[in-house]
Amino acid sequence: MKTHDPMEYIRGLQQLLISDKKRIAFLFGAGTSLAKKNDKSIFIPAIDVLTKQIENELCKDSSYKKALVEIKQELEEKGKYTVETLLSNIDQKCVVIGKGKLNGLKEENFFELKAEIKRLIKEKMNIHKDFVAENSIHVDFAEWIGRANKKYAIEIFTTNYDYFFELGLEYKKIPYYDGFTGSFCPFFNADSVDKMDFLPSQTKLWKMHGSLGWYYDEKNEKIIRKENNSEDLLIYPTLLKYDESRKQPFIALGDRLTKFLNQADTILITCGYSFGDEHINERILTALKSNLLTHVYVLFFDKNLTEDSPICKIAKLESKISIFSQRHAIIGSQYGVWKLNSEPDKDDLIPVALFFDEDASNSPETEIGKELKGTEVWTGEGELRITDFNFFVSFLQSMMFPDNVILSHSEEGRIK
């Protein structure tokens, strides 16, 4: 099998992140909200766990249980059952149901079910009152942004609805713009999102799937941000053709990603994102086809990434996408295993242990199965650590404080 030297590509990634010539953006998915800096960190469950929790709560109501079982089966047959696809499915049925019934429910029952799902999402995800800065990996990430001193503002795209990135940026007093304008009742300003030179020096935070604080103001027909006490929570990109004012933020933010990638010398780094959103994937692939100077680095947290997995098929067709998983990589459309070309040098500017966990040395065995003393064989193979958001942030911080990186593990596996 082909091999890729992690040291070579980590050095390259470091140079790109240090460079002042590159425009850098991040695309963060649910995996970053699951990351824990230590055992006191608050976190959001993975989407499959969150979906199961909400499903269990809903099924306590017998009037919903039969419908949920049927809808779940419908969605699983299509290959994807999550709380987001559940909401989209309910929305579709609200449009076509009329005065009849579907899955044993009437139109008003579907609206009630949708409202209850949103209430449960808010209840389970709105945990930010327990935020403590020293336990937050997002604060550490924000610190890197504050010290990076880039010519071009860093842009953060995220599919997460929670406030972890906002909390980190605000704790570190880093100005950022998220598309909303105003003070008393901030409203989504699509024109400002469209302009790449709007607030050019400020970090940008684009929430691709909405946020816990986003609501639709029926009276004024606009998206507003306020305390989360409304039922009309906007937290997912529906498949339905909403009126222009409702779908505005999702389209505007998707366009922003496309425009960013269409610029010269741009780098997009994804972490915690599984490439499960076809709308986002399509925008990335379309932009890469038209821009030869853009590259996407995918930090993919998976020990058993196979060559025929959907994400590998994408990278095989597009050489400007490099996938770094825990034990494998696809670089230049070539699938291979991570393997150091030479034993690490203790004087290297990038400590290997910071980003790569080497396998234990192999020991040849005698004919009766006993190890031969002093004959260990170095393999060079191991696991790439920076696919974990915790380790990736440590890698970023090593560029700020290279002399202060201490290589020890917490219970969660984070370098402190």
Using CA atoms, how far apart are residues 52 and 110, in angstroms rounded to an integer? 19
pLDDT of residue 244: 55
Q: Which residue has the tokens 């009437």?
A: 106
User: In the chain, which stretches have pLDDT less than 50?
Assistant: 241-242, 405-416
Using CA atoms, how far apart are residues 159 and 136, in angstroms rounded to an integer? 19
Helix, strand, coil abundance in the chain, percent, nearest 5: 40, 20, 40
Distances in Å between the Cα of 407 and the Cα atoms of 351, 394, 395, 403, 415 are 9, 10, 11, 11, 6
Nearest to 390 by CA among 409, 372, 377: 409
Structure tokens at 398: 């090593």
pLDDT of residue 416: 36
Query: How many helices and strands, by DSSP H and E, does the chain display?
Result: 13, 16
Using CA atoms, how far apart are residues 250 and 198, in angstroms rounded to an integer? 19
| Nearest-10 crossing angle of helices 83-96, 47-58 | 50
Using CA atoms, how far apart are residues 342 and 340, in angstroms rounded to an integer? 5
Structure tokens at 4: 């890729």
**Cα 225–228–234 angle (5° rounding)?**
65
pLDDT of residue 289: 93
Nearest to 325 by CA among 277, 265, 273, 380: 273
| Sheet of 294-300, strands arranged across | 3-4, 334-338, 328-331, 321-325, 294-300, 266-271, 23-28, 155-158, 203-207, 176-177
pLDDT of residue 384: 96
Task: Provide the 3-class DSSP secondary structure of residue 399.
Answer: helix
Structure tokens at 351: 């400590």
Read off the amino acid at residue 331.
I
**Cα 371–336–282 angle (5° rounding)?**
145
Using CA atoms, how far apart are residues 194 and 191, in angstroms rounded to an integer? 5
Count of CB atoms situated within 10 Å of the CB of 333:
14
139 and 168 Cβ atoms separated by less than 8 Å: yes
**Which helix (H) or strand (E) segment is 269 a member of?**
strand 266-271
Structure tokens at 365: 């065995």
330 and 312 Cβ atoms separated by less than 8 Å: yes
Read off the amino acid at residue 409.
H
Task: Provide the 3-class DSSP secondary structure of residue 394.
Answer: helix
Q: Residue 308 class from Cβ within 10 Å (0-12 exposed, 13-18 middle, 19+ buried)?
A: exposed
pLDDT of residue 343: 83
pLDDT of residue 300: 97
pLDDT of residue 237: 58
Using CA atoms, how far apart are residues 402 and 413, in angstroms rounded to an integer? 20
CATH number of 3-41+133-340+388-398: 3.40.50
40 and 135 Cβ atoms separated by less than 8 Å: yes
Domain positions in the chain: 3-41+133-340+388-398, 47-125
Residues 6+ apart with CB under 8 A from 408: 415, 416
pLDDT of residue 206: 97
Task: Note the pTM of the prediction, 2 decimals.
Answer: 0.89
Segment 207-228, tens digit of pLDDT:
999 898 888 888 888 889 887 5
Read off the amino acid at residue 178.
D
Residues 6+ apart with CB under 8 A from 67: 103, 104, 105, 109, 113
